[in-house]
Copies of this chain bind each other. A is one copy, B any other.
Amino acid sequence: MLPDEQLLMKLSCDKIFSLMIQSIKYTFWVMLIAGLGFIAIALTPDAEQTDAAMFKKIFNEALTNGKSYSNLDYLTNKIGGRLSGSINALKAVEWAFKAMKEAGADSVYLQECMVPHWVRGEKETAKIIFDGGKSAKIVPICALGGSVATPAEGITASIIEVKSFEELAQLGKDKIKGKIVFFNSPMDPKYLETFEAYGGAVKFRWAGASEAVKYGAVGVVVRSCTLAQDDYPHTGVMGYKDSLNKIPACAISTNGAILLSESLAANKNPEFYFKMSCQTLPDEISYNVVGEIYGTTQSNEYVIVGGHLDSWDTGAGAHDDGAGVVQSMEVLRIFKALGIKPKCNIRAVAFMNEENGGRGGEKYAEWAKINKEKHIAAIESDAGGFTPRGFNSEVTPIQKEKLKSWKPLFEPYGIHNFDRNGSGADLKHLQEMGVPCLELMPDSQRYFDYHHAATDVFQNVNKRELELGGAAMAALVWMIATHGL
């Protein structure tokens, strides 16, 4: 053997030895990974099969034995609209207590809270007056929630149209003083999600009066927040700034807004007349209704689902938010019907006073803090009883990824969107306490056709769409209660 060959041999031996060592190392890692993979493979499909099988059971139960539709029938048709502080709201509390029991809750209780008590009074009237009173056209309006009344004889004044607060400011006191301001900013139909369009338009309803009064306006008329073109005015909460005068504020139907705008554009110099007798009475006692299924571990941990029990008085609060309430109860019913025994406690919460105060949501969070409850997650349904499409969430990025990893389980049920941020209004205080908060996201195309209007009634809710939403919430509660978040 030549020296170089020896060298080569030596090198080769070293190499082979090194390769052997490497090979052993590799083998170790490969076996470890394979082993882990095997364990993962052995576990994952089983877990997935269990989850998929449970999803099937949950959706079948909702679609064949569902009680959400008959519950909604009762709430909307036997009780009807139920604004905070009203007799109807108390009737709804009483009904919800019983319905939670019937859904199978192990325990049902009330959480007392003080709520605003605004009443609409007599049906509002309004007209566009032409030629100094020679002719007039009646237009449908309704008082915005929280508005003061007009004087008993109504208000008659010149009316001026604006499309934005900037335009209002430019017109200034010279042009505004003594007039009624007509905010005519339609919801933008180009948004695919109608809630985004709502977000752009609702500021005039909320702040129109307090902005207009700065320039001496005597009243405001706000185009209804809806994408439908029809004769229904849509109410909703408005607010005053304490430092400013309070002027009456109403919503006008979209057809009315179009007529009014055309009358102004045609230089007919119409006047506007409206009369409202609404008023704010002292706060009333009311309640959240909480139904609970006890977890097997007797822990202080909770997954909650909820909707709000109060509604506007113009309609029957079917989509907003009777749907969310009956879907939340349905989650309890489905769990009981299928004999699911979750480790943590599951709560359905019918929040009071989402529409004009949010006192119920505040009270719930207060009690959660006092009782040192750990909320694993809170889910609200308050976007209507339409076909569910996904869940919005306000969670950590890791939790978001976990949610998204469950998408394949939801997709066979048409639920495909877990990307968006957002959660329910009643969960605001829980969210501030760091609770992962979510909301059911149904198809949004029809929501604002009915929202806060006389058309928000039972017959505009489809049974299956409502049931699917409840099932979607039950499936998500199952996942969170079983796998954490």
Contact B189 A387 (CB under 8 A): no
In the assembled complex, which residues on chain B have CB atoms less than 8 Å from the CB atom of A414? 192, 389, 443
Tell me the smallest distance from the CB of A450 to a CB of chain B, in Å: 11
A170 contacts partner chain B, Cβ-Cβ < 8 Å: no
> Which of A213-221, A258-266, A458-466 binds B?
A458-466
CB-contacts of A420-446 with B (<8 A): 443, 445-446
Q: Which of B190, B389, B412, B445 contacts A64 (CB 8 A)?
A: B190
Q: Tell me how far the C-beta of A108 lies from the nearest C-beta in chain B, rounded to whole angstroms.
A: 29
The answer to whether A463 and B228 touch across the interface, beta carbons within 8 angstroms, is yes
Chain A residues 300 to 327 lying within 8 A of chain B, measured CB to CB, are none
Number of interface residues of A (CB under 8 A): 28
* Cα–Cα distance between A227 and B414 once the two chains are bound (Å): 18
Q: A192 and B463 in contact (CB under 8 A), knowing A4-B2, A443-B443, A468-B445?
A: no
User: Which residues from B are CB-within-8-Å of A63?
Assistant: 189-190
CA gap between A413 and B468 in the complex, in Å:
21
Cα of A64 to Cα of B186 in the assembled complex, Å: 12
Q: Is A44 among interface residues, defined by CB-CB distance under 8 A?
A: no
Tell me the smallest distance from the CB of A455 to a CB of chain B, in Å. 11
A59 within 8 A of B: yes
Tell whether A449 is near chain B: CB-to-CB under 8 Å. yes
Task: Report Cα–Cα, A12/B420, bound state, in Å.
Answer: 59
A23 within 8 A of B: no
Contacts of A190 in B (CB 8 A): 59-60, 63-64
Interface centre among A194, A414, A446 (most CB of B within 10 A): A414
Instruction: Name the interface residues of A14-51: CB closer than 8 Å to any CB of B.
Output: none
How far apart are A52's CB and chain B's nearest CB, in angstroms? 14
A464 touches B412 (CB 8 A): no
Cβ–Cβ < 8 Å partners of A192 in chain B: 59, 412-414, 468
Chain B nearest CB from A8 CB (Å) reads 8
A8 closest partner in B (C-beta): B4
A404 to B135, CA, bound (A): 60
**Residues of B with C-beta under 8 A to A443:** 387, 414, 443
Considering the chains assembled together, what is the distance between the CA atoms of A25 and B412 in angstroms? 48
For residue A2, which residues in chain B have a CB less than 8 angstroms away from its CB? Answer: 4
Within 8 A of B (CB), among A165-208: 189-190, 192, 194
- In the complex, whether A416 has a CB less than 8 A from a CB of chain B is yes
B60 and A445 contacting across the interface, CB-CB below 8 Å: no
A309 and B194 CA atoms in complex are apart in Å by 31
| Contact pick for A445, options B8, B194, B227, B387, CB 8 Å | B387
Instruction: Considering the complex, give the chain B residue whose CB is closest to the CB of A449.
Output: B462
Q: Which residue of B lies closest to A466 (CB)?
A: B445
Q: Which of A458-485 contact B (CB under 8 A)?
A: 462-465, 468
Residue from B4, B60, B412, B462 within 8 A of A446 (CB atoms): B462
Residues in chain B near residue A416, CB distance under 8 A? 416
Bound CA span A468–B414, Å = 18
Q: Which of B387, B445, B463, B464 contacts A462 (CB 8 A)?
A: B445
27 contacts between A and B (CB under 8 A): A2-B4, A4-B4, A59-B190, A59-B192, A63-B190, A64-B189, A64-B190, A189-B464, A192-B412, A192-B413, A192-B414, A192-B468, A194-B464, A228-B463, A387-B387, A387-B445, A389-B414, A414-B443, A416-B416, A443-B443, A445-B464, A445-B465, A445-B468, A446-B462, A446-B464, A446-B465, A449-B462
| 6 smallest beta-carbon distances between A and B, as pairs | A4-B4, A63-B189, A445-B464, A445-B465, A60-B190, A416-B416
Name A's B-contacting residues (CB within 8 A).
2, 4, 8, 59-60, 63-64, 189-190, 192, 194, 227-228, 387, 389, 412-414, 416, 443, 445-446, 449, 462-465, 468
Beyond A389-B414, A416-B416, 13 extra complex contacts between A and B, CB < 8 Å: A63-B189, A64-B189, A64-B190, A192-B412, A192-B413, A192-B414, A192-B468, A387-B387, A387-B445, A445-B465, A445-B468, A446-B464, A446-B465
